[in-house]
Structure 1
Amino acid sequence: MGAEALRALLDRVRYEVLPAKATEEKVLAHVPRDVVVTVTASPVKGLEPTLALTERLTAHGFRVVPHVPARLLRDDTHLKDVVERLRAAGVDDVFVPAGDADPPAGPYDGALPVLRRLGELGRPFAHMGITGYPESHPLIDDDITIQAMWDKRAHATYIVSNLCFDPRLLGDWIARIRRRDVTLPVYVGVAGPVQRAKLLSMATKIGVGESTRFLSRHPSWFLRFATPGGYAPERLLTRAAETLTEPSAGVAGLHLFTFNQIAETERWRRALLERLG
């Protein structure tokens, strides 16, 4: 990948963080204000930690994208309350996955009904993201996930892909959704420079975030992090260069899964930018 193209991707990053006790302090200490921060939500802890952290970070001047999983919404009143609270905080972008709560907290069992309801409420957010799965979802068939993106395309404004370690799979998936006439821009999900010991520690905690739960369902992925030379973000980006830089792919930027290794992720990004001049 050319230095200019890689720099452009690294300048258009989103950092996914988990709403833990120390997250606010870590973000303030290490994340520049021009980097978008997305905040996950837990089926165990509910939406409150996500909303509270979003409010605090927006007050500090960050652009924050809270996750609002459909299965955590108790009812229509709860959805309206969440909308009002986020709008009051100045939020104009939300990420709406289905979520993992089982059973759902209310009537919404998937993202599409929530997106439709937000439309009926006058589209209170300028930007709304949905999930994509380059590597197969552990519970849902690939054809269904791609059909779901097609169904949501009239309501959402972008897609965030979940973790993918295989450049070929990533390229095939992007080509497939484009053939299906899903034209929404894609933020490609990439794991940051993860330290295996910290990742394993987080994965043993209950309800720390959707990204960690998704990872825990793919135990072989831990081997990628643990093997010396097995995973490096810049190597994945280089191998996926053609896919990421092809104009028809519609890649808007990178969505970096930090697993709350926020300082390490930002140091890696800055060091790579410096090496690129």
Structure 2
Amino acid sequence: MSILSFRSNKPAPAPVATSDFVAGYSIEVMPRTAEKVESFAEILPVGTRVYIAHIDGTPIEEMVATAKRIAAEGFEVMPHFPARIIDDAATLEDWIARYQGEADVRSALLLAGGVAEPKGAFDNSMQLMDTGLFDKAGFTRLHVAGHPEGNRDIDVDGSDANVSEALRWKQAFSERTDAQMAIATQFCFEAQPVIEWAEALRANGIDLPVHIGIAGPGKLQTLIKFAIACGVGPSLRVLQKRAMDVTKLVLPYTPDDVVNELAAHKAANPDFAIEQIHIFPLGGIKTSAEWANAAATQAKVSAAR
């Protein structure tokens, strides 16, 4: 008898609460990963918001070309604007003009960026917002970064003092901009810390909706590598515990457990800060889209039978 207990990779039907929670998901791509997708229209629901991550070293021309292509397929494009790789206000204005002129972009994710030291005039997303250039250009949606498990690059002492202060500033900014705002977070693997973080936001007067980062299905080793590289906090233990279980090591990771738990909490607490999920397709864009599309429809199809 084999010591391994294999099971089908076919996902179990999603609860109705999960279907509602996953529907309307957003997803993140990069120019190089987008190139591997022949047609986004064939794998994503119409109107899906597609973030385009701007990694240091990626030419703005590649970013704009990717935005143009995805927008032409009928999707809302939300490129990243990483403050620390933008030289100055003139460069920022040029990027905005390019995105709008070629891809009619009206949405942006504003963040500090993944480099340790600024390459130009900006150090954080608040400085980008303070230029007034996004409001001047008529952006209708601005998202900012959230860190449910903290961010050691911002709070080196392990606290959340600086992150919390920044969110309070962004909350105040949301009250003087015409753009809709939301918090898009780093991906996590455990629901309870996320629930506690989201509830703490509300307790501290932060009422921006939260789009929680979720890692899409993928090989366990791949997800652990990305999680460590991206500074995922204590919820990394979920993957590490799974890696110690020989019966699960050979199976691909799926985010069903964390999503089901968050969805159940949302169903029981409609005012819960988390509004939707944002998928990081670490195991591939098509694989993540297939998982999300199935999760968003399975329970409803079953209920209709």
TM-score range normalised by the length of the shorter chain: 0.7 to 0.9
Are 2:206 and 1:194 equivalent residues in the alignment?
no
SS of the aligned residue for 1:253 comes to strand
Extract unaligned runs of 5+ from structure 2. 1-13, 175-180
Residue 217 of structure 1 and its aligned partner are, at CA, apart by: 8.6
Counterparts in 2 of 1:57 and 1:160: CA distance versus 1, 3 Å: same
Residue in structure 2 matched with residue 45 of structure 1 by the alignment:
58
Can you list the C-alpha shifts for 1:78-100, whole angstroms capped at 9, x where unaligned?
Answer: 11111111222211110001102
Residue in structure 1 matched with residue 19 of structure 2 by the alignment:
7
Are 2:246 and 1:223 equivalent residues in the alignment?
no
Residue 269 of structure 1 and its aligned partner are, at CA, apart by: 1.9
**2: CA distance between counterparts of 1:120 and 1:62?**
20
Residue 111 of structure 1 and its aligned partner are, at CA, apart by: 0.4
Candidates 161, 165, 175, aligned match of 1:147: 165
Residue 168 of structure 1 and its aligned partner are, at CA, apart by: 1.5
Conserved 8 A contact 2:18-2:264:
no
Deviates more, 1:167-176 or 1:83-92: 83-92
Can you list the C-alpha shifts for 1:165-219, whole angstroms capped at 9, x where unaligned?
Answer: 2211101101111111111111111111122355578x5xxxxxxx884158987
Conserved 8 A contact 1:135-1:163:
no
Residue in structure 1 matched with residue 6 of structure 2 by the alignment:
none
Residue in structure 1 matched with residue 90 of structure 2 by the alignment:
77
Extract unaligned runs of 5+ from structure 1. 204-210
Candidates 21, 27, 38, aligned match of 2:40: 27
C-alpha RMSD of matched pairs (Å): 2.8
Residue 135 of structure 1 and its aligned partner are, at CA, apart by: 1.2
Conserved 8 A contact 1:36-1:64:
yes
Aligned residues: 268
**1: CA distance between counterparts of 2:86 and 2:241?**
35
> Which amino acid counterpart does residue 199 of structure 2 have in structure 1?
A
Q: How does 1:43-122 map to 2 (within 5 A)?
A: 43-88=56-101, 89-118=103-132, 122=136
Candidates 252, 260, 263, aligned match of 2:286: 263
Residue 262 of structure 1 and its aligned partner are, at CA, apart by: 1.1
Residue in structure 2 matched with residue 36 of structure 1 by the alignment:
49
- Point out the structure with max Rg over C-alpha: 2
Residue 15 of structure 1 and its aligned partner are, at CA, apart by: 0.6
Percent identity of the aligned residues? 24
Length-normalised TM-score, structure 1: 0.85
**2: CA distance between counterparts of 1:86 and 1:243?**
38
